Structure 1
Amino acid sequence: MSGYSGRGVHGQVVAALGARIVSGELGRGDVIDLAALGRDLDVSMTALREAMKVLAAKGLVEARQKRGTYVRDREHWNLLDSDVIRWRSEAGDTAAVLRDLAEVRSVVEPAVASMAALRRDEHDLAELDAALEDMRGAVGAAAEVAADLRWHRAMLRATHNEMLARMDVFIEPALRLRDALVHESSADDPVPSHAVVVEAVRGQDPAAAAAAMTSLLDKAAQDAAGVLGHSGDAEEKETVSE
Protein backbone atom coordinates (compact mmCIF):
# COMPACT_ATOMS: atom_id res chain seq x y z
CA MET A 1 0.00 0.00 0.00
CA SER A 2 1.40 3.34 -0.96
CA GLY A 3 2.27 6.01 1.57
CA TYR A 4 -0.06 8.92 2.29
CA SER A 5 2.16 11.17 4.36
CA GLY A 6 2.74 14.56 2.79
CA ARG A 7 -0.23 14.39 0.42
CA GLY A 8 -2.05 17.55 1.42
CA VAL A 9 -4.38 17.88 4.40
CA HIS A 10 -5.68 14.34 3.95
CA GLY A 11 -2.19 12.85 4.05
CA GLN A 12 -1.19 14.99 7.01
CA VAL A 13 -4.17 13.77 9.02
CA VAL A 14 -3.40 10.13 8.18
CA ALA A 15 0.22 10.62 9.18
CA ALA A 16 -0.54 12.47 12.41
CA LEU A 17 -3.12 10.00 13.66
CA GLY A 18 -1.26 6.93 12.42
CA ALA A 19 1.86 8.04 14.26
CA ARG A 20 -0.11 8.57 17.47
CA ILE A 21 -1.55 5.07 17.27
CA VAL A 22 1.68 3.27 16.41
CA SER A 23 3.63 5.16 19.09
CA GLY A 24 1.08 4.16 21.73
CA GLU A 25 -0.13 7.69 22.39
CA LEU A 26 -3.52 6.28 21.42
CA GLY A 27 -3.74 2.79 22.88
CA ARG A 28 -5.69 -0.26 21.82
CA GLY A 29 -9.39 0.09 22.45
CA ASP A 30 -9.21 3.87 22.78
CA VAL A 31 -12.22 5.55 21.20
CA ILE A 32 -11.26 8.43 18.94
CA ASP A 33 -13.20 11.62 19.55
CA LEU A 34 -13.45 12.90 15.99
CA ALA A 35 -14.78 16.31 16.99
CA ALA A 36 -11.93 16.89 19.45
CA LEU A 37 -9.40 15.53 16.98
CA GLY A 38 -10.71 17.87 14.30
CA ARG A 39 -10.23 20.84 16.60
CA ASP A 40 -6.77 19.63 17.60
CA LEU A 41 -5.61 19.21 14.00
CA ASP A 42 -7.71 22.09 12.65
CA VAL A 43 -9.26 19.99 9.89
CA SER A 44 -12.76 19.29 8.68
CA MET A 45 -14.86 16.25 9.56
CA THR A 46 -14.72 15.29 5.88
CA ALA A 47 -10.91 15.10 5.99
CA LEU A 48 -11.07 13.12 9.24
CA ARG A 49 -13.55 10.60 7.87
CA GLU A 50 -11.43 10.06 4.77
CA ALA A 51 -8.34 9.60 6.94
CA MET A 52 -10.19 7.04 9.05
CA LYS A 53 -10.97 5.01 5.93
CA VAL A 54 -7.25 4.88 5.11
CA LEU A 55 -6.29 3.93 8.66
CA ALA A 56 -9.01 1.28 8.72
CA ALA A 57 -7.56 -0.23 5.54
CA LYS A 58 -4.21 -0.41 7.35
CA GLY A 59 -5.89 -2.26 10.22
CA LEU A 60 -5.25 0.48 12.79
CA VAL A 61 -8.84 1.55 13.49
CA GLU A 62 -12.35 0.21 13.20
CA ALA A 63 -15.75 1.86 13.40
CA ARG A 64 -18.73 0.19 15.04
CA GLN A 65 -22.23 1.34 15.81
CA LYS A 66 -22.76 2.49 19.40
CA ARG A 67 -19.00 2.29 20.05
CA GLY A 68 -17.61 4.72 17.50
CA THR A 69 -14.16 4.62 15.92
CA TYR A 70 -11.56 2.94 18.09
CA VAL A 71 -7.94 1.74 17.91
CA ARG A 72 -7.59 -1.94 17.04
CA ASP A 73 -5.24 -4.42 18.67
CA ARG A 74 -1.77 -4.58 17.17
CA GLU A 75 -2.43 -8.07 15.82
CA HIS A 76 -4.79 -6.51 13.27
CA TRP A 77 -2.33 -3.89 12.01
CA ASN A 78 -0.89 -4.30 8.52
CA LEU A 79 2.73 -4.38 9.65
CA LEU A 80 3.85 -4.72 6.01
CA ASP A 81 2.35 -1.36 5.07
CA SER A 82 4.97 1.26 4.19
CA ASP A 83 3.39 3.94 6.40
CA VAL A 84 3.09 1.61 9.41
CA ILE A 85 6.73 0.62 8.99
CA ARG A 86 7.79 4.27 8.87
CA TRP A 87 5.67 5.19 11.89
CA ARG A 88 7.16 2.28 13.84
CA SER A 89 10.65 3.52 13.02
CA GLU A 90 9.78 7.10 13.98
CA ALA A 91 8.44 5.79 17.28
CA GLY A 92 11.80 4.16 18.07
CA ASP A 93 11.00 0.65 16.85
CA THR A 94 13.62 0.61 14.08
CA ALA A 95 15.60 -2.28 15.56
CA ALA A 96 12.55 -4.56 15.70
CA VAL A 97 11.57 -3.69 12.12
CA LEU A 98 15.06 -4.47 10.87
CA ARG A 99 15.22 -7.69 12.87
CA ASP A 100 11.92 -8.89 11.39
CA LEU A 101 13.06 -7.89 7.91
CA ALA A 102 16.31 -9.79 8.26
CA GLU A 103 14.47 -12.93 9.35
CA VAL A 104 11.95 -12.73 6.51
CA ARG A 105 14.71 -12.19 3.96
CA SER A 106 16.77 -15.10 5.33
CA VAL A 107 13.81 -17.41 4.77
CA VAL A 108 12.75 -16.12 1.36
CA GLU A 109 15.64 -14.72 -0.64
CA PRO A 110 18.09 -17.68 -0.73
CA ALA A 111 15.23 -19.78 -2.13
CA VAL A 112 14.45 -16.99 -4.60
CA ALA A 113 18.06 -16.93 -5.81
CA SER A 114 18.06 -20.70 -6.17
CA MET A 115 14.87 -20.66 -8.23
CA ALA A 116 16.14 -17.74 -10.32
CA ALA A 117 19.25 -19.77 -11.21
CA LEU A 118 17.02 -22.48 -12.65
CA ARG A 119 14.54 -20.25 -14.45
CA ARG A 120 16.29 -17.03 -15.46
CA ASP A 121 16.36 -15.96 -19.07
CA GLU A 122 18.53 -13.46 -20.92
CA HIS A 123 16.21 -10.58 -20.15
CA ASP A 124 16.48 -11.35 -16.42
CA LEU A 125 20.27 -11.40 -16.59
CA ALA A 126 20.30 -8.12 -18.48
CA GLU A 127 18.13 -6.49 -15.80
CA LEU A 128 20.32 -7.84 -12.99
CA ASP A 129 23.42 -6.55 -14.77
CA ALA A 130 21.78 -3.16 -15.29
CA ALA A 131 20.92 -2.99 -11.59
CA LEU A 132 24.56 -3.74 -10.74
CA GLU A 133 25.63 -0.90 -13.01
CA ASP A 134 23.20 1.39 -11.20
CA MET A 135 24.78 0.34 -7.93
CA ARG A 136 28.28 1.06 -9.25
CA GLY A 137 27.30 4.53 -10.43
CA ALA A 138 25.03 5.50 -7.55
CA VAL A 139 25.93 8.70 -5.73
CA GLY A 140 24.18 9.39 -2.46
CA ALA A 141 21.94 7.31 -0.23
CA ALA A 142 18.77 7.79 -2.33
CA ALA A 143 20.41 6.53 -5.53
CA GLU A 144 22.05 3.63 -3.70
CA VAL A 145 18.74 2.56 -2.19
CA ALA A 146 16.96 2.79 -5.57
CA ALA A 147 19.63 0.64 -7.23
CA ASP A 148 19.45 -1.95 -4.46
CA LEU A 149 15.67 -2.13 -4.76
CA ARG A 150 15.93 -2.52 -8.53
CA TRP A 151 18.30 -5.46 -8.04
CA HIS A 152 16.04 -7.25 -5.57
CA ARG A 153 12.99 -6.75 -7.77
CA ALA A 154 14.89 -8.18 -10.73
CA MET A 155 15.90 -11.21 -8.68
CA LEU A 156 12.30 -11.81 -7.60
CA ARG A 157 11.06 -11.53 -11.20
CA ALA A 158 13.74 -13.94 -12.37
CA THR A 159 11.93 -16.73 -10.50
CA HIS A 160 9.11 -16.43 -13.06
CA ASN A 161 6.70 -17.00 -10.20
CA GLU A 162 4.09 -14.24 -10.12
CA MET A 163 3.47 -14.53 -6.39
CA LEU A 164 7.15 -14.35 -5.53
CA ALA A 165 7.55 -11.41 -7.88
CA ARG A 166 4.97 -9.49 -5.85
CA MET A 167 6.82 -10.02 -2.59
CA ASP A 168 8.54 -6.70 -3.22
CA VAL A 169 5.28 -5.15 -1.95
CA PHE A 170 6.25 -6.02 1.60
CA ILE A 171 10.02 -6.34 1.23
CA GLU A 172 10.47 -2.88 -0.30
CA PRO A 173 9.33 -0.62 2.58
CA ALA A 174 11.47 -2.28 5.23
CA LEU A 175 14.36 -2.77 2.81
CA ARG A 176 14.25 0.94 2.01
CA LEU A 177 14.44 1.72 5.73
CA ARG A 178 17.39 -0.62 6.27
CA ASP A 179 19.27 0.59 3.22
CA ALA A 180 18.78 4.25 4.07
CA LEU A 181 20.16 3.63 7.54
CA VAL A 182 23.13 1.53 6.42
CA HIS A 183 24.08 3.50 3.30
CA GLU A 184 24.20 6.72 5.29
CA SER A 185 26.60 5.14 7.79
CA SER A 186 28.68 2.63 5.85
CA ALA A 187 31.25 3.05 3.09
CA ASP A 188 31.28 -0.64 2.17
CA ASP A 189 30.87 -1.37 -1.54
CA PRO A 190 27.71 -3.50 -1.99
CA VAL A 191 28.46 -4.44 -5.60
CA PRO A 192 30.82 -7.44 -5.08
CA SER A 193 28.42 -9.37 -2.84
CA HIS A 194 25.53 -8.78 -5.22
CA ALA A 195 27.65 -9.65 -8.25
CA VAL A 196 28.52 -13.05 -6.77
CA VAL A 197 24.81 -13.88 -6.63
CA VAL A 198 24.30 -12.77 -10.22
CA GLU A 199 27.17 -14.90 -11.47
CA ALA A 200 25.76 -17.97 -9.74
CA VAL A 201 22.35 -17.26 -11.29
CA ARG A 202 24.02 -16.76 -14.66
CA GLY A 203 25.81 -20.08 -14.25
CA GLN A 204 22.54 -21.82 -13.39
CA ASP A 205 23.95 -23.06 -10.09
CA PRO A 206 21.07 -22.98 -7.57
CA ALA A 207 23.15 -24.10 -4.57
CA ALA A 208 25.81 -21.46 -5.19
CA ALA A 209 23.14 -18.79 -5.76
CA ALA A 210 21.43 -19.62 -2.45
CA ALA A 211 24.76 -19.64 -0.59
CA ALA A 212 25.81 -16.31 -2.10
CA MET A 213 22.47 -14.74 -1.21
CA THR A 214 22.77 -16.05 2.36
CA SER A 215 26.22 -14.49 2.62
CA LEU A 216 24.89 -11.18 1.27
CA LEU A 217 22.04 -11.18 3.80
CA ASP A 218 24.36 -12.03 6.70
CA LYS A 219 26.50 -9.01 5.80
CA ALA A 220 23.43 -6.79 5.52
CA ALA A 221 22.22 -7.88 8.97
CA GLN A 222 25.66 -7.25 10.46
CA ASP A 223 25.80 -3.78 8.93
CA ALA A 224 22.37 -2.87 10.32
CA ALA A 225 23.20 -4.25 13.75
CA GLY A 226 26.47 -2.32 13.73
CA VAL A 227 24.76 0.96 12.91
CA LEU A 228 22.16 0.46 15.62
CA GLY A 229 24.84 -0.59 18.09
CA HIS A 230 26.68 2.68 17.56
CA SER A 231 23.65 4.53 18.91
CA GLY A 232 24.38 3.18 22.38
CA ASP A 233 20.69 2.49 22.91
CA ALA A 234 20.48 -0.48 25.26
CA GLU A 235 16.92 -1.29 24.27
CA GLU A 236 17.84 -1.45 20.59
CA LYS A 237 20.80 -3.70 21.36
CA GLU A 238 18.52 -6.12 23.18
CA THR A 239 16.04 -6.14 20.28
CA VAL A 240 18.48 -6.80 17.44
CA SER A 241 19.51 -10.44 17.30
CA GLU A 242 22.48 -11.68 15.36
Structure 2
Amino acid sequence: MTRYASRGVHGQTVEALARRLLGGEWPEGATLDLVALQAELDVSLTALRESLKVLAAKGLVDARQRRGTFVRPRAHWNLLDPDVLRWRLAATPAGEGGDAALHRDLGEVRAIVEPAAARLAAERRDPDDLAVLEEALVAMGRAASPTEAAAADLAFHRGLLAATHNELLARMELVIESGLERRDLLVHSSAAAGDPVPQHRAVLTAVRERDADAAEALMRTLLAQAARDLDRASEQQRPHD
Protein backbone atom coordinates (compact mmCIF):
# COMPACT_ATOMS: atom_id res chain seq x y z
CA MET A 1 0.00 0.00 0.00
CA THR A 2 1.44 3.37 -0.97
CA ARG A 3 1.73 5.75 1.97
CA TYR A 4 0.75 9.35 1.35
CA ALA A 5 3.72 10.47 3.44
CA SER A 6 6.02 9.20 0.69
CA ARG A 7 4.45 11.59 -1.84
CA GLY A 8 6.15 14.82 -0.79
CA VAL A 9 4.61 17.83 0.93
CA HIS A 10 1.11 17.10 -0.39
CA GLY A 11 1.16 13.55 0.95
CA GLN A 12 2.59 14.58 4.30
CA THR A 13 -0.15 17.18 4.66
CA VAL A 14 -2.82 14.57 3.90
CA GLU A 15 -1.34 12.25 6.53
CA ALA A 16 -1.12 14.99 9.16
CA LEU A 17 -4.71 16.11 8.65
CA ALA A 18 -6.11 12.58 8.53
CA ARG A 19 -4.40 11.40 11.69
CA ARG A 20 -5.57 14.43 13.64
CA LEU A 21 -9.12 14.01 12.42
CA LEU A 22 -9.26 10.27 13.05
CA GLY A 23 -7.51 10.77 16.36
CA GLY A 24 -10.51 12.77 17.53
CA GLU A 25 -8.97 16.24 17.56
CA TRP A 26 -11.84 17.57 15.45
CA PRO A 27 -15.29 16.21 16.33
CA GLU A 28 -18.06 15.58 13.83
CA GLY A 29 -19.44 18.85 12.52
CA ALA A 30 -16.39 20.89 13.53
CA THR A 31 -15.41 23.62 11.07
CA LEU A 32 -11.71 23.69 10.22
CA ASP A 33 -9.80 26.96 10.42
CA LEU A 34 -7.91 26.79 7.14
CA VAL A 35 -5.90 29.96 7.75
CA ALA A 36 -4.64 28.65 11.08
CA LEU A 37 -3.93 25.20 9.61
CA GLN A 38 -2.03 26.74 6.70
CA ALA A 39 0.23 28.62 9.10
CA GLU A 40 0.63 25.66 11.44
CA LEU A 41 1.51 23.20 8.68
CA ASP A 42 3.55 25.78 6.74
CA VAL A 43 1.97 24.97 3.39
CA SER A 44 0.23 27.05 0.75
CA LEU A 45 -3.52 27.43 0.88
CA THR A 46 -3.68 25.65 -2.48
CA ALA A 47 -1.74 22.68 -1.11
CA LEU A 48 -3.97 22.56 1.96
CA ARG A 49 -7.15 22.60 -0.13
CA GLU A 50 -5.79 19.86 -2.40
CA SER A 51 -5.04 17.73 0.66
CA LEU A 52 -8.54 18.27 2.01
CA LYS A 53 -9.93 17.10 -1.32
CA VAL A 54 -8.32 13.71 -0.64
CA LEU A 55 -10.10 13.51 2.72
CA ALA A 56 -13.33 14.66 1.10
CA ALA A 57 -13.10 11.82 -1.42
CA LYS A 58 -12.95 9.38 1.51
CA GLY A 59 -16.04 10.91 3.10
CA LEU A 60 -14.22 12.52 6.03
CA VAL A 61 -14.78 16.22 5.31
CA ASP A 62 -16.92 18.44 3.11
CA ALA A 63 -16.99 22.11 2.15
CA ARG A 64 -19.98 24.39 1.77
CA GLN A 65 -20.43 28.06 1.01
CA ARG A 66 -20.84 30.21 4.15
CA ARG A 67 -19.96 27.21 6.32
CA GLY A 68 -16.46 26.39 5.16
CA THR A 69 -14.73 23.02 5.46
CA PHE A 70 -16.15 20.78 8.18
CA VAL A 71 -15.89 17.21 9.51
CA ARG A 72 -18.67 15.01 8.16
CA PRO A 73 -20.68 12.70 10.43
CA ARG A 74 -18.95 9.38 11.00
CA ALA A 75 -21.76 7.56 9.18
CA HIS A 76 -20.43 9.08 5.93
CA TRP A 77 -16.79 8.07 6.45
CA ASN A 78 -15.46 5.37 4.13
CA LEU A 79 -14.28 3.16 6.98
CA LEU A 80 -13.30 0.32 4.62
CA ASP A 81 -10.90 2.53 2.70
CA PRO A 82 -7.38 1.14 3.33
CA ASP A 83 -5.95 4.60 4.04
CA VAL A 84 -8.72 5.39 6.52
CA LEU A 85 -8.09 2.09 8.31
CA ARG A 86 -4.36 2.79 8.47
CA TRP A 87 -4.88 6.34 9.69
CA ARG A 88 -7.19 5.11 12.43
CA LEU A 89 -4.57 2.65 13.60
CA ALA A 90 -1.79 5.24 13.38
CA ALA A 91 -3.79 7.74 15.44
CA THR A 92 -3.22 5.57 18.54
CA PRO A 93 0.17 3.96 19.28
CA ALA A 94 0.08 0.17 19.34
CA GLY A 95 -0.50 -1.37 22.72
CA GLU A 96 -2.20 1.63 24.32
CA GLY A 97 -5.63 0.07 23.96
CA GLY A 98 -7.22 2.79 21.87
CA ASP A 99 -7.02 0.62 18.76
CA ALA A 100 -8.59 -2.41 20.46
CA ALA A 101 -12.06 -1.80 19.01
CA LEU A 102 -10.71 -1.54 15.48
CA HIS A 103 -8.62 -4.69 15.88
CA ARG A 104 -11.75 -6.44 17.17
CA ASP A 105 -13.79 -5.25 14.20
CA LEU A 106 -11.10 -6.30 11.73
CA GLY A 107 -10.80 -9.65 13.47
CA GLU A 108 -14.51 -10.24 13.09
CA VAL A 109 -14.39 -9.31 9.40
CA ARG A 110 -11.51 -11.73 8.88
CA ALA A 111 -13.39 -14.47 10.76
CA ILE A 112 -16.29 -14.07 8.33
CA VAL A 113 -14.28 -13.70 5.12
CA GLU A 114 -11.15 -15.84 5.38
CA PRO A 115 -12.59 -19.25 6.33
CA ALA A 116 -14.98 -18.97 3.39
CA ALA A 117 -12.07 -17.86 1.21
CA ALA A 118 -10.04 -20.89 2.32
CA ARG A 119 -12.94 -23.14 1.29
CA LEU A 120 -13.14 -21.55 -2.17
CA ALA A 121 -9.36 -21.65 -2.53
CA ALA A 122 -9.40 -25.40 -1.87
CA GLU A 123 -11.96 -25.82 -4.62
CA ARG A 124 -10.43 -23.48 -7.19
CA ARG A 125 -6.68 -23.19 -6.59
CA ASP A 126 -4.27 -23.81 -9.45
CA PRO A 127 -0.53 -24.64 -9.42
CA ASP A 128 0.45 -20.98 -9.51
CA ASP A 129 -1.66 -20.26 -6.43
CA LEU A 130 0.00 -23.12 -4.55
CA ALA A 131 3.43 -21.83 -5.52
CA VAL A 132 2.63 -18.36 -4.15
CA LEU A 133 1.36 -19.81 -0.88
CA GLU A 134 4.38 -22.10 -0.54
CA GLU A 135 6.75 -19.20 -1.18
CA ALA A 136 5.03 -17.17 1.54
CA LEU A 137 5.38 -20.07 3.98
CA VAL A 138 9.07 -20.43 3.23
CA ALA A 139 9.55 -16.69 3.81
CA MET A 140 7.60 -16.99 7.06
CA GLY A 141 9.91 -19.71 8.29
CA ARG A 142 13.02 -17.74 7.35
CA ALA A 143 11.86 -14.39 8.72
CA ALA A 144 14.61 -12.78 10.78
CA SER A 145 12.65 -9.76 12.03
CA PRO A 146 9.09 -8.81 12.96
CA THR A 147 8.87 -6.81 9.73
CA GLU A 148 9.83 -9.81 7.60
CA ALA A 149 7.44 -12.08 9.53
CA ALA A 150 4.58 -9.61 9.05
CA ALA A 151 5.29 -9.30 5.32
CA ALA A 152 5.33 -13.09 4.87
CA ASP A 153 2.12 -13.52 6.85
CA LEU A 154 0.40 -10.88 4.73
CA ALA A 155 1.68 -12.52 1.53
CA PHE A 156 0.12 -15.83 2.60
CA HIS A 157 -3.29 -14.36 3.36
CA ARG A 158 -3.22 -12.26 0.19
CA GLY A 159 -2.34 -15.38 -1.80
CA LEU A 160 -5.19 -17.30 -0.22
CA LEU A 161 -7.70 -14.62 -1.22
CA ALA A 162 -6.29 -14.58 -4.76
CA ALA A 163 -6.64 -18.37 -4.93
CA THR A 164 -10.42 -18.01 -4.69
CA HIS A 165 -10.36 -16.56 -8.22
CA ASN A 166 -13.09 -14.19 -7.08
CA GLU A 167 -12.14 -10.62 -7.92
CA LEU A 168 -14.18 -9.08 -5.12
CA LEU A 169 -12.78 -11.41 -2.48
CA ALA A 170 -9.26 -10.81 -3.76
CA ARG A 171 -9.75 -7.08 -3.23
CA MET A 172 -10.54 -7.72 0.43
CA GLU A 173 -6.79 -7.84 0.86
CA LEU A 174 -6.88 -4.04 0.96
CA VAL A 175 -9.03 -4.17 4.08
CA ILE A 176 -7.26 -7.08 5.72
CA GLU A 177 -3.78 -5.69 5.01
CA SER A 178 -4.32 -2.57 7.11
CA GLY A 179 -5.03 -4.46 10.31
CA LEU A 180 -2.93 -7.54 9.67
CA GLU A 181 0.30 -5.59 9.20
CA ARG A 182 -0.15 -3.67 12.45
CA ARG A 183 -1.28 -6.79 14.31
CA ASP A 184 1.64 -8.87 13.06
CA LEU A 185 4.26 -6.28 13.93
CA LEU A 186 2.90 -6.15 17.46
CA VAL A 187 2.62 -9.92 17.88
CA HIS A 188 5.92 -10.86 16.25
CA SER A 189 7.72 -8.27 18.37
CA SER A 190 6.32 -9.89 21.50
CA ALA A 191 7.72 -12.66 23.65
CA ALA A 192 4.28 -14.25 23.34
CA ALA A 193 4.77 -14.90 19.65
CA GLY A 194 4.72 -18.56 18.70
CA ASP A 195 5.74 -20.25 15.47
CA PRO A 196 3.11 -19.26 12.85
CA VAL A 197 4.28 -21.78 10.26
CA PRO A 198 2.55 -25.01 11.43
CA GLN A 199 -1.00 -23.63 11.39
CA HIS A 200 -0.47 -21.88 8.05
CA ARG A 201 1.09 -25.10 6.69
CA ALA A 202 -2.02 -27.04 7.78
CA VAL A 203 -4.26 -24.62 5.85
CA LEU A 204 -2.06 -24.90 2.77
CA THR A 205 -2.09 -28.70 2.96
CA ALA A 206 -5.88 -28.72 3.02
CA VAL A 207 -6.02 -26.32 0.10
CA ARG A 208 -3.49 -28.41 -1.81
CA GLU A 209 -5.54 -31.57 -1.18
CA ARG A 210 -8.76 -29.77 -2.19
CA ASP A 211 -10.26 -30.54 1.21
CA ALA A 212 -12.63 -27.58 1.46
CA ASP A 213 -14.12 -28.55 4.85
CA ALA A 214 -10.70 -28.89 6.45
CA ALA A 215 -9.40 -25.67 4.86
CA GLU A 216 -12.32 -23.71 6.29
CA ALA A 217 -12.06 -25.28 9.74
CA LEU A 218 -8.29 -24.87 9.94
CA MET A 219 -8.53 -21.22 8.95
CA ARG A 220 -11.02 -20.66 11.77
CA THR A 221 -8.55 -22.27 14.17
CA LEU A 222 -5.70 -20.14 12.84
CA LEU A 223 -7.68 -16.91 13.24
CA ALA A 224 -8.78 -17.84 16.76
CA GLN A 225 -5.15 -18.38 17.73
CA ALA A 226 -4.21 -15.09 16.06
CA ALA A 227 -6.76 -13.29 18.22
CA ARG A 228 -5.36 -14.88 21.38
CA ASP A 229 -1.81 -13.95 20.37
CA LEU A 230 -2.88 -10.34 19.83
CA ASP A 231 -4.54 -10.21 23.24
CA ARG A 232 -1.37 -11.49 24.93
CA ALA A 233 0.91 -9.15 22.98
CA SER A 234 -1.33 -6.16 23.74
CA GLU A 235 -1.34 -7.05 27.41
CA GLN A 236 2.47 -7.14 27.46
CA GLN A 237 2.61 -3.74 25.76
CA ARG A 238 0.09 -2.16 28.14
CA PRO A 239 1.65 -0.24 31.07
CA HIS A 240 0.96 -1.78 34.47
CA ASP A 241 0.87 -0.15 37.88
* TM-score computed with the length of structure 1 as normaliser: 0.91
Where do 5+ consecutive residues of structure 1 fail to align?
235-242
Aligned to 2:28: 28
For residues 1-150 of structure 1, the aligned pairs below 5 Å read: 2-92=2-92, 93-150=98-155
Residue deviations 1:98-126 (CA, integer Å, cap 9, x gap):
10111001101010001111111111111
Rounded Cα–Cα distance in structure 1 between residues aligned with 2:239 and 2:115: 31
Alpha carbons 1:124, 1:154 under 8 Å: kept: yes
Q: Which amino acid in structure 2 is aligned with residue 222 of structure 1?
A: R
Aligned to 1:163: 168
Rounded Cα–Cα distance in structure 2 between residues aligned with 1:86 and 1:123: 30
Aligned to 2:95: none
Rounded Cα–Cα distance in structure 1 between residues aligned with 2:186 and 2:238: 15
**Larger displacement relative to structure 2 (85-94 or 42-51):** 85-94
SS at match of 1:70: strand
Aligned to 1:202: 208
Rounded Cα–Cα distance in structure 1 between residues aligned with 2:35 and 2:58: 22
Rounded Cα–Cα distance in structure 1 between residues aligned with 2:57 and 2:147: 29
Report the Cα offset of residue 45 of structure 1.
Answer: 0.5
Aligned to 1:214: 220
SS at match of 1:143: helix
Rounded Cα–Cα distance in structure 2 between residues aligned with 1:119 and 1:6: 37
SS at match of 2:43: coil
Report the Cα offset of residue 130 of structure 1.
Answer: 1.0
Report the Cα offset of residue 223 of structure 1.
Answer: 0.6
Report the Cα offset of residue 175 of structure 1.
Answer: 1.0
Residue deviations 1:6-62 (CA, integer Å, cap 9, x gap):
432212211221122112111111111211110111111111011101111222111
Q: Which amino acid in structure 2 is aligned with residue 219 of structure 1?
A: Q
SS at match of 1:78: coil
Q: Which amino acid in structure 2 is aligned with residue 201 of structure 1?
A: V
Report the Cα offset of residue 91 of structure 1.
Answer: 3.4
Q: Which amino acid in structure 1 is aligned with residue 61 of structure 2?
A: V
Q: Which amino acid in structure 1 is aligned with residue 228 of structure 2?
A: Q
**Larger displacement relative to structure 2 (24-33 or 71-80):** 71-80
Rounded Cα–Cα distance in structure 2 between residues aligned with 1:187 and 1:90: 22
Rounded Cα–Cα distance in structure 1 between residues aligned with 2:87 and 2:172: 21
Residue deviations 1:119-167 (CA, integer Å, cap 9, x gap):
1111111111111111111111111111111111110111111111111
Q: Which amino acid in structure 2 is aligned with residue 96 of structure 1?
A: A
SS at match of 2:70: strand
Aligned to 1:240: none
Among the aligned pairs, what percent are the same residue?
55
